[in-house]
Amino acid sequence: MREELLAGGHINEVVRIGDTVRRPMPDRAPYVHDVLRMFAQHKWPGAPKYLGSDEQEREVLTYLEGHVAWEPAQPPDVWSEESLVRVAKLVRQFHDLTAGTRLAEDEEVVCHNDLSPKNTVYRDDGMGLRPYAFIDWDGAAPGRRLHDVAHVCWQFLDLGPRRSNPAGPARLLLLIADSYGLTTRDRKELVETILWWQDRCWRGIEAGASEGDPAMQALVDGGHVYAIHDAYAWVADHRAALEAPLV
């Protein structure tokens, strides 16, 4: 069957063959595949199913039909409040499925750790494009609920200098916190955790590039480290306004 190269990945060469996707084996493949197996056991539709490995030692996953929001310009539905609410609820679903399980180890839940529009599949439910699944679970690991929620806020609200003023994003942070059902303690730490992610992200890219990782070097060459620095500075400058509705 024909191999079709899928666009939108920054790290991995991903191809579609029929109803399947083939990706390089993740570093922590046994853990990541246990997570996907657990979702399948619960019939949770928000992730691809792990089907095994192929003759080239690639992982084989189910292909999820729909729109993956990987390009910078997206239809307005992707940024709509309805879609943001659904994203938050999807995250809550898989967090609740994993809470207290062996896979969460001694943490609250299993975190995805890279939730963003480019790792989200949207489908038209008749009212418009809405998120229904997350892909790219390579970074899944035990963690705090807050970690994924903060990453969602950064990525889905595009927090950074493209936002001219913080009032709109501040209201949407509250919408995400409410839709997820974030605790009072976690709300207080939300903006701080967004800053933590941004800091960790640019440092990780820089460290990877200096160790010779070509994918990380490509991100440096594409100006991503500067862009994340700018996003961090914007969130830090507007921290009080962003936190006001949350605390």
Ligand X SMILES: Nc1ncnc2c1ncn2[C@@H]1O[C@H](COP(=O)(O)OP(=O)(O)O)[C@@H](O)[C@H]1O
Binding region for ligand X (CB under 6 A): 6, 8-12, 14, 21, 23, 48, 61, 63-64, 68, 70, 118-119, 135-136
**Between residues 6 and 149, which has the closer beta carbon with respect to ligand X?**
6
Q: Are 59 and 22 spatial neighbours (Cβ–Cβ below 8 Å)?
A: yes
Minimum Å gap between C-beta 131 and ligand X is 13
What, of Mg ion, ligand X, none, does residue 61 touch, CB below 5 to 8 Å by kind? ligand X
What are the φ and ψ backbone dihedral angles of 167, each rounded to 5 degrees? Answer: -65, -45
Name which of 7 and 127 has its Cβ closer to ligand X. 7
Residues 242 and 169: beta-carbon distance below 8 Å: yes
Measured from the CB atom, the residue of 202 and 234 that comes closer to Mg ion is 202
**What is the SS3 assignment for 143?**
strand
Query: Token digits for 142?
Result: 């035990």
**Distance in Å, CB of 228 to ligand X, minimum:** 16
Q: 117 or 169: whose CB is closer to ligand X?
A: 117
What is the closest distance, in whole angstroms, from the C-beta atom of residue 118 to Mg ion in the complex? 6
Q: Least distance in Å: CB of 167 to ligand X? A: 32
- With 0-12 / 13-18 / 19 or more C-beta atoms within 10 angstroms meaning exposed / middle / buried, residue 83 is buried
Out of 59, 136, 186, 243, the only residue in the binding site for Mg ion (CB under 5 A) is 136
181-207 as b/e, with b when 16 or more CB fall inside 10 Å?
ebeeebbebbbebbbbbbeebbeebbe
Sequence-ordered list of residues with C-beta below 8 angstroms from that of 207, at least 6 positions apart, any chain: 216
Output 59 or 243, the one with its CB closest to ligand X. Answer: 59
* Count of C-beta atoms within a 10 Å radius of residue 97: 20
Site pattern 99..128 for Mg ion (x: CB under 5 A): --------------------x---------
Contact 175, 83 (CB under 8 A): no
Q: How far is the CB of 14 from ligand X (least distance, A)?
A: 4
With contacts defined by CB under 5 A, how many residues of the chain interact with Mg ion?
Answer: 2
Q: Is 84 exposed, middle or buried (0-12, 13-18, 19+ CB in 10 A)?
A: buried
Per the rule left: phi > 0, alpha: psi between -120 and 50, beta: everything else, 75 is beta
Smallest separation, CB 196 to Mg ion (Å): 21
Residue 6: which of Mg ion, ligand X, none does it interact with, CB under 5 to 8 A by kind?
ligand X
Near Mg ion by CB under 5 A, which window of 76-84, 98-106, 121-129, 134-142?
A: 134-142
Binding site for Mg ion (CB under 5 A): 119, 136
